[in-house]
A and B are shown apart, each in its own frame.
Chain A
Amino acid sequence: MLLAAALAGSVLGGLLLVGYNHLTAYAQAWPTKGARLSFEMLSLPWFPLSDKAAEVVAEQLKKVGIEIRLVKLESAAMYPRIMQTFDYDAFALAVSQSPDPTGMLNAFHSRNAIPGGSNYWGYRNPAVDQLIDKVLSSNSVEEAKRIAWKIQEELSRGPFIPLYISINTQVIRAEWKNYTLMPGGILEALNRWSILYMYKSDKPEENVFRIAFPADILTLNPFTATDLRSIWVLGLIYEPLVALSPDLRVVPWLAERWEVSPDGKVYTFYLKRGVRFHDGKELTADDVVFTYEFGIRNKAARFIGTVSELTERIEKVDDYTVRFVLKSPSVFFLTSLATSYQFIAPKHIWADKNVTWANPNPIGTGPFKFVSRVPGESIVLERNENYHIPGTPKIARIVVRVIPEAETRYYSIKRGDVDAERYATSYTLIEDAKKDPNLKVILTPDIWLVYIAFNYRRYNDTRIFEAINYAINRTEIIEKAAGGYGIPVYTILNKEWHKDFANTNITFPYDPKRAVKILEEAGWVPGPDGIRVYVGPKEVTTPATPTPTTPPPTTPYTSIAIVAIPVVVVVVIGVLLLTKYRTRRG
């Protein structure tokens, strides 16, 4: 009874909270006089790149009188607060980067400031909305760049504060050669080149590449895969229409060339001829049209996003020609196509299947054929002898092994049990790897943009964000959170991933004095404990005005519940066990 009431209460509370946020989000309610410049910042302890960064940010901001109270939460507890209920002050996290900037841009559009939308920070600015709409439907690269630069200028005073792009520290056995460097690393799903040309021996059968994964792949289904581990494996078995070159330009893959109509709304793709699926059937336009229609119709995870939003229809022109007709032109369409991991599946296998089918024996056109999988343990692939790029792949066999513990993965590489691991090796082990002649350390920009973000629904004074930008020392953050392996970033787009779409004019040199000046002008003066308190802008404040006392901190009911519920459960279980044990002894 009590439990039911509590549950109902919390659900109701959650609903009210959401409603409240929507109604009052943009009223100028904050700051009120006497407010403390103090934020609770949520952070994910299992993701040290952003978790450690949050700790350093807290230290740095304290020096200018801004208090950051760190709250470490598991993702299951943190994500609903930042994505659904918006019950937070600030958080530290990372967002994966891709050459397609539409995801980053959309995250600042007010239409996405809804529960489940990507505008977690609730940024709302009609001018920026207009610019985003304009850039996404532009038909000229030059114009798109100009608008993108303008958007970044606007957002440099926004609640999203980028810190750094991590550097991928990839450890690999030194005997391997001929891999291709690309942002994201040599073993990233976007990098289709490394795995085609890598080898260690001139004897083909000796080229067995053993790679360690921290966890098992979640699925072999190319339509519903969401984790990058599954996508990497599926990308070896299946292939997209177009791919990315090492310098992130869109290049032909299953489509050997394409044409764009002058209005930018019709893309015609000409398929490579003689490409065969692993079961011998030839790839035709039917498979491409089927894949996109099936994926989009079923709202499969891989087919949600820019490509499906832009596409009005897909037509087969002849057996080797496919036409995409778009609702509006977009300079990002091809990049989206190359980065969405939309793999062409054979129609003759999938036509009568459900979109969530487990696909236990995947058949694609890719350089590797599926051999076997032991869930939780290993996946084995072998060379596709009839692959459509002559002379590749050089690797005869790929063995994916699940090794959950980071140190074990590293020592397995060191001992030669495996050749490399899927993701970057922790920087704490890199110094050791550098000294080992059997190992090589490869550095490339990684996919993670580490950032802090504030809840704009609660705090919409852009001067605070400007001050924070000057008060944080990104170099020190990178040094302490990533061992120096990072690239400072000041805008939502960056030159590592978005080339000249990144506005390189915007930088925030570390300048705490300037931060203090901005805060003082905005009406924040140091309180008794050094944390700033709002007294109102300078011009209207008379020195005689007494500073109101700080309101008592509100009780963090949710935190109490988070601690109390498990404690009660543990105590109850303990008591039960004890009594049971007692009776047995008696």
Chain B
Amino acid sequence: MRFFEYLASKLAYVFLTILVACVAAFFVFRLLPGDPTLSMLDPRLDPEARREILRTFGLDRPLPEQFALYLVNLLRGELGYSFSYIGTKVTELVLGPRLFNTVVLMSLSIAISAVVGTVLGLVAGWRAGTALDRLLTGFLYLLFSLPVFWIALVIQFYLGYVLGVLPISGTTSYHGTEVDPWLYLLDYLRHLAAPMLTVSIFLIPGYYIYIRNTVAALGNEDFVFALKAYGLPEWRILRNILRHVLIHTVSITANYSPLLVTGAVFTETVFGWNGIGRLLYESILKSDYPVLQGVFLLTITVVVVANLVADIAYYFIDPRIKRGVGL
């Protein structure tokens, strides 16, 4: 299959998916139980004032009309105003510092887990059945079964409170004061360390378990015996095996890609990391449709793009795709 042919077929999928997502985003959240006007305002609101609010947000109009308005606004790049943060645009809430913080936290965490998980998996899988393998596998299964908020609280309590080496909450120590950009960056990274460690610990076992099992199974393949028989050094055999398992690393990363923008609800909450995960959680509790739609559309876009990137990566990693087999 030629590259451009391959790309064009994938791109067609991308547009179709995003189109469906735009429609779904409108209806999905209107299926949620709850009345946004109740969370928007004092429950002791008189009915007249409630009607007033419904009118302000266009919620008094029939659903098809609301939908048409939504599509028109979407084409103009407008996602409307938040129900709970009165007077604030969704784009401002979603595409502001929150998105930046979440993308920084999650991209670094995913990258670290992908590298660490793949390397550990490769080592343990190659030495399958040995004490090292059992130790690593046992330990990582233990990590896998721990609830993430527990990991977060333990890290926060010991590294932050008891030892005092890391700040325990927030993204910065400088609030409303002028500060040297380098100092600010250093401080930001110090605040980033604990949540990043937490998310990484949470994600590493996912890579490890899959890669380890794949490598362990590959150990019995003919080509591995052949390479061994040629007397190739171990690292060169491993390099060959790596090519086989990298495709799985890419797949798992693509599956984690929504996390890139939806963030980690628990971790962000425990560490007060000002990200999308927390915004998402608050918005669900408050039936804040416009914000939910915004995050949903953003997530879908990222998932679709990440899968596209993964598909392109397969094309280069896996020679079978070029030959048009196995797909």
Contacts and interface: CB of A to CB of B under 8 A. Distances in A.
Interface of A: 74-77, 79-80, 83-84, 103, 107, 114-118, 215-216, 218-219, 221, 224, 226, 299, 301, 304, 356-359, 371-372, 374-378, 380, 399, 401-405, 407-409, 411-412, 414-415, 417, 562, 565, 577, 581, 584-586
Contact of B47 (A117, A219, A375): A117
B87 A376 contact: no
Interface of B: 31-35, 38-50, 52, 56, 81, 84-88, 92-93, 96-98, 153, 156-157, 160-161, 164, 167-172, 175-176, 251, 255, 268-272, 274, 278-279, 282, 284-287, 326
Contact of A299 (B33, B48, B97, B287): B48
Nearest to A356: B87
Contacts of A226: 40-42
Contact of A408 (B39, B45, B81, B270): B270
Contacts of A378: 170, 175-176
A118 B47 CA distance: 10
Given A76-B32, A374-B97, A377-B170, A407 B50 contact: no
A584 B168 contact: no
A586 B31 CA distance: 36
A586 B47 contact: no
Given A79-B43, A304-B45, A408-B168, A299 B52 contact: yes
Given A80-B34, A380-B176, 7 more contacts: A79-B39, A372-B176, A377-B172, A407-B153, A408-B156, A411-B157, A415-B164
A399 B176 CA distance: 8
Given A80-B33, A218-B86, A299-B49, A417 B167 contact: yes
Among A79, A215, A585, find the residue whose CB has the most chain B CB atoms closer than 10 A: A79
A414 B156 CA distance: 14
B98 A376 contact: yes
Given A116-B47, A299-B52, A371-B176, A76 B287 contact: yes
Contacts, number: 157
Nearest to B28: A569
A188 B160 CA distance: 30
A412 B169 contact: yes
B161 A301 contact: no
A577 B43 CA distance: 40
B326 A586 contact: yes
Contacts of B52: 299
Contacts of A358: 86-88
Nearest to B30: A7
B169 A408 contact: yes
B175 A80 contact: no
Contact of B251 (A114, A371, A584): A584
A417 B274 CA distance: 17
A83 B38 contact: yes
B274 A374 contact: yes
B49 A415 contact: no
A411 B287 CA distance: 31
21 contacts: A76-B38, A76-B285, A76-B287, A79-B43, A103-B44, A107-B44, A118-B43, A226-B40, A377-B97, A378-B175, A380-B176, A399-B175, A399-B176, A402-B170, A402-B274, A403-B170, A403-B272, A404-B268, A411-B157, A412-B168, A417-B169
A83 B168 CA distance: 40
A581 B284 CA distance: 28
Contact of A76 (B39, B85, B164): B39
Most chain B beta-carbon contacts within 10 A, residue among A216, A399, A577 = A216
Q: Which of A114, A215, A224, A359: most chain B Cβ within 10 A?
A: A224
B167 A219 contact: no
Nearest to B44: A118
Contacts of B171: 377
